[in-house]
Structure 1
Amino acid sequence: MMKKILCKSVLFLALSASLLSGGFTSCSDDEPYLLKKEDIQVVQPEGGLTAQVDRPFTVEVKTVSDEGLAFEWILDGESISTSKKLEYTFKLVGEYELMLRVKQNELSYEYTFTVKVDFYKEVIEPNPAGATAYITKVLDFMPAVGQFTNSLPVYKEGDTQETMNAKVLDAIGNNKKNMISLGGFGGYVVVGFDHTIANREGLRDFRVLGNAFYANANPDPNAPEGGSCEPGVIMVAYDVNKNGKPDEDEWYEIAGSAHEDPTKELWYDKAVAAENDVNIYRDYTITYYRPEKEPTTTEEKEKYIRWEDNKGNSGYKVKNGFHNQPYFPQWFSGDKLTLKGTCLPQNGVDESGQGGYYVLYKFRYGYADNETNTKDESAIDIDWAVNSKGQKVHLPGVDFVKIYTGVNQENGWLGECSTEITGIEDLHVLGVEIETRK
């Protein structure tokens, strides 16, 4: 006997009002139920579906009938639920495409929505009582291969990761302003503070201190600013769950000028003429292989440490005559070190044409060790942060900062491009106001 289908009044999403489409079809006591697209309706509030990071997000669906229906929720192309009622928790800020697919035998209908995910609107005090403006903790430090690795700071036999972290804190923490080197591409340091650095609207929020400086005798008198600018990519994390550590899903990248458009860099044409790689790679991976022994001959030094990347490139890191310590981080136990991140365009140009005068040109803004410490462009606005899709996000503040060397390039006798760091300053605690870029 055929079931009777009862018509029921329609209720939708616990979110509030305004129907996306027209009313339900009428029911018949005499005919079998066949799914029609208008039988599944979703209501969303004015402005669309919204959610908050780490807070439950629920979508309820009411139908004329559930007989023979199969439900599937798809988020950015990935199936996340087969329940009629969606319950989900977002971990990252951004805009997401949410699709509900409903099937009945051969019938299938899809309903697509945009979900805007943001942080809970917490207000961060810009100058909390007792806060220091400087780094107070070092959570991790792993330089890549480089001529200053194992010397800034100095590695001694028996040192562990914890020992090296402590040496980094002693060098750049608490306004010491000594120097550490991150080595070649991907080498990084992760630091924290005794408070949350507030994100103040219209202002830059913190300054990364490095050792960038300008060339004194560039053979090209009309060249843009540059000299020793070794840009590090900056990542920031807001401790959403208040567990005192930066979780993997809490990191966002500061999008500097090359993220926006590398062709706008004032030295771009110079780099093209020098046959530099001027692309930006947001999915770059490089692997350095531990050498079997330290080199003694010229030939061994030229093929010191082999590397490969995920773009089909490979080569060797050269050991120069100025720095004789091992260039591979000695406290790291593996035979190969793999590092990932955004690789910036190569900014080093041999202006002499004979290998004698290399100039590493300044990016316009947004990176560490890219501008002299007294200038505004060494300061960072937290609102430059983007998620993994490149979408801008608004963080209430940041609790942790990660910096890694952003360029993979050898510059003749100068050696590898390596980001150096001497500290970080919370501009709000210091009472320094620098307007953000328009």
Structure 2
Amino acid sequence: MKKEVLSKSLWGIALSTVLLSGSLISCSDDNSEPYVLQQADITVNVPESGFKAVVDQLFKIEVNSVSDEGVTYTWTLDGETLSNSKQLEYIFPSAGAYELILTATQGTSSFSYTFQVTVGFDDSITTPEGAKAYITKVIDFMPAVGQYTNVLPSYEEGDTQENMNQKVLDAIGNGNRSMISLGGYGGYVTVGFDHTIENKAGLRDFRVLGNAFYSAANPNPDAPVGGSCEPGIIMVAYDKNKNGVPDDDEWYEIAGSAHNNPEGEAWYQMAINAGNDVNTYKDYQITYYRPEKEPTTAEEKEQYIRWEDNQGNSGYKVKNSFHNQPYFPQWFEGEKLTFNGTCLPQNGIDESGKGTYFVLYKFGYGYADNEQNTKDDACIDIDWAVNSKGQKVNLPGVDFIKIYCGVNQENGWLGECSTEVSGVEDLHILGEEVATRED
């Protein structure tokens, strides 16, 4: 531990040592000058490796000062005031890298000091004997509008949310490899396990099974890998308070290849040329409106279910000739369904130029139903998890996984992009070692 003097910079912690010779100047002497705050009068002992905190545990910073005469203190985080006390005591609810600012003010004089704090977890993971490598519970399931909604799994009149959750578990839980569909953008499933899936350094930790495949007869001979790749965003939660449910502040996103660099996708320019929306929206929202009735005419099928998003777009989900059941989830009682999350670039391209051969191209890595199940990129490294600022969070493991369809796109006669899921597997219990990506 070293004692450091803080510079006036708002973006760093100064590293000089304040040495005070003799006793502090007394402010009680009637003949002395009033105390005037100076930058170097405020000091903090900063650990050699910087400040580190643990999620949901009390974190403290002790502040030393030459004098507190007429001095007020304010601690801020992301522009919000945390405390007006000289000594900081705070509990960080989430992992990540944080920047704390202490402002000391005396009259018209004010000095600010910035501290970097890394917040993580201190738990170690022990996998219990007999733990299953597969999904053992379904927390929630709500598909968006889609041609396989109410079919995968099958809805029967009178089914409740609990009934549908059980049908999902029967289909993809406990090593079963049937299939469920999440419908269009936002539709999701949330699953749990009988243990914490450990985050092992240098290895991928779990596999998400889908039904992605490569195109067999792409008219474009120079095209990158693609076929039916319908990427789902993956969220992970570590049960830090051990209450057995995923709390809102426990969720983190697996940052796949398009999270920060969609331009790096092999098909990106092709998608631009095709007129696709190639943006990645981090705070996307879409609302689907329940249709008043099932369509009977061709025109009604083209304008089947209305949707609108927070990017100023709107349109209709089309009912095709292959699936005649209702596309709006029938056990849901509301008049509209709203989903929020990250929305990926549109990866579907009509390579025939006449609406007969659509190819949904593969993203680099980090998504569900985006790669063949036997390939390494169907596997996920928990170390890819990031917080809302895009910062790596270093989870010790995960107890819950949420998957939701990540693309809002219609692909001609193929219909909407809809993520399918056939299971989730703990690679460590299966004894499979899949190295993480180097990039």
Task: Answer whether TM exceeds 0.5 for this pair.
Answer: yes
- Structure 2 unaligned segments of length 5 or more: list them: 7-17
Whether the aligned pair in 2 keeps the contact of 1:302 and 1:317 (CA below 8 Å) is: yes
Name the residue aligned to 2:222.
222
Q: How does 1:22-421 map to 2 (within 5 A)?
A: 22-23=18-19, 26-27=25-26, 29=29, 30-120=32-122, 122-125=123-126, 128-421=128-421
Question: Over the residues paired in the alignment, what is the CA RMSD in angstroms?
Answer: 1.4
Distance 1:111 1:201 in 2: 35
Equivalent residue number for residue 7 of structure 1: none
Partners of 1:331 and 1:257 in 2: CA distance: 35
Letter aligned with residue 116 of structure 1: T
8 Å CA contact 2:367, 2:378 repeated in 1? yes
The amino acid of 2:125's aligned partner reads I
Report the alpha carbon displacement of residue 34 of structure 1 after superposing the two structures with TM: 2.5
Instruction: Tell me, yes or no, if the aligned pair for 2:3 and 2:43 is still in contact at 8 Å.
Output: no
Greater CA drift, 235-244 or 326-335: 326-335
Q: How big is the shift at 1:106?
A: 2.1
User: How far apart are residue 35 of structure 1 and its match?
Assistant: 2.2
What SS does the aligned partner of 1:259 have?
coil
- 1:27 CA drift (Å): 4.1
Instruction: Write the letter of the residue equivalent to 1:84.
Output: K
Counterpart Cα distance in 2 of 1:426 and 1:312: 40
* Residue type at the aligned position of 1:215: S
* Corresponding position of 2:2: 17
Q: How far has the Cα of 1:93 moved from its partner? A: 1.0
* Kept after mapping to 1: 8 A contact 2:45/2:62: no
Verify the 8 A CA contact 1:18 1:46 in the aligned structure 2.
no
User: For residues 319-345 of structure 1, what are the alpha-carbon distances to aligned partners after superposition, in whole Å with 9 as ceiling and x for unaligned?
Assistant: 111111111112222211110111111
Asked if structure 1 preserves the Cα contact closer than 8 Å seen for 2:230 and 2:419, the reply is yes
| Shift in Å, 1:183 | 0.6
Offset of 1:392 from its aligned partner? 1.5
Report the CA distance between 1:138 and its aligned residue.
0.4
CA distance in 2, matches of 1:67, 1:56: 28
Secondary structure, counterpart of 1:174 in structure 2: coil
Equivalent residues of 2:236, 2:398 under 8 A apart: yes
How far 1:117 moved relative to its partner? 0.8
CA distance in 2, matches of 1:333, 1:64: 65
Checking the alignment, whether the CA contact within 8 Å between 1:226 and 1:359 is kept in structure 2 is yes
Contact between 1:23 and 1:38, CA under 8 Å: does it hold in 2? no
Looking at structure 2, the residues matched to 336 and 101 of structure 1 have their Cα atoms a distance apart, in angstroms, of 47
Question: Is the contact between residue 226 and residue 360 of structure 1 (CA under 8 Å) also seen in structure 2?
Answer: yes
Deviations 1:30-66 (A, max 9, x none): 2222322222222211121111111110122233333
Instruction: Report the alpha carbon displacement of residue 357 of structure 1 after superposing the two structures with TM.
Output: 0.5
Q: Which residue of 1 aligns with 2:15?
A: none
SS in 1 for 2:246: coil
SS of alignment partner, residue 301 of structure 1:
helix
CA distance in 2, matches of 1:263, 1:100: 39
AA in 2 matched with 1:36: Q
Three-state SS of the structure 2 residue aligned to 1:138 is: strand
Note the alpha carbon deviations across 1:350-385, whole angstroms, 9 max, x for none: 011000000001111111000111111101111111
Cα deviation for residue 23 of structure 1 reads 4.0
Offset at residue 242 of structure 1 (A): 0.7
Q: Secondary structure at the match of 2:258?
A: helix
Distance 2:402 2:265 in 1: 24
Whole-angstrom distance in 2 between the partners of 1:150 and 1:70: 61
Partner SS for 2:429? helix
- 8 Å CA contact retained: 1:60, 1:85: yes
Distance in 2 (alpha carbons) for counterparts of 1:254 and 1:181: 20
Query: 1:68 deviation in Å?
Result: 2.7
Partners of 2:162 and 2:19 lie apart in 1 by 64
CA distance in 1, matches of 2:90, 2:143: 38
SS at match of 1:269: helix
- What is the letter of the counterpart of residue 318 of structure 1? V
Query: 131-140 vs 23-32, which deviates more?
Result: 23-32
Which SS does the other structure have where 1:197 is aligned? strand
The one-letter code of the counterpart of 1:63 is: S
Matched with 1:428 is: 428
Distance 2:51 2:380 in 1: 31
Give the 3 Å change call, closer, same or farther, for CA 38–20 of structure 1 in structure 2: closer
The one-letter code of the counterpart of 1:216 is: A
Q: Which amino acid aligns with 1:119?
A: F
AA of the residue aligned to 2:112: E
Question: Shift in Å at residue 113 of structure 1?
Answer: 1.0
| 4+ long deviations beyond 6 Å | none
1:77 partner letter: G
Asked if the contact 1:284/1:342 (under 8 Å) is kept, the reply is yes
Contact 1:20 1:44 (8 Å CA) reproduced: no
Contact 2:43 2:64 in 1 (8 A): yes
2:220 & 2:90 partners in 1: Cα distance?
58
Q: Percent identity?
A: 69
Alpha-carbon separation, structure 1, partners of 2:77 and 2:260? 27
Q: C-alpha displacement at 1:394, in angstroms? A: 1.1
**Deviations, residues 387-437 of structure 1 (Å, cap 9, x unaligned):** 111111211111110000010100001110000000011111011111111
What secondary structure, in the 3-state scheme, does the structure 1 residue paired with 2:259 have?
Answer: helix
For residue 393 of structure 1, what is the amino acid of its counterpart?
A: V
Mapped to 2, the partners of 1:73 and 1:255 lie a distance apart of 31
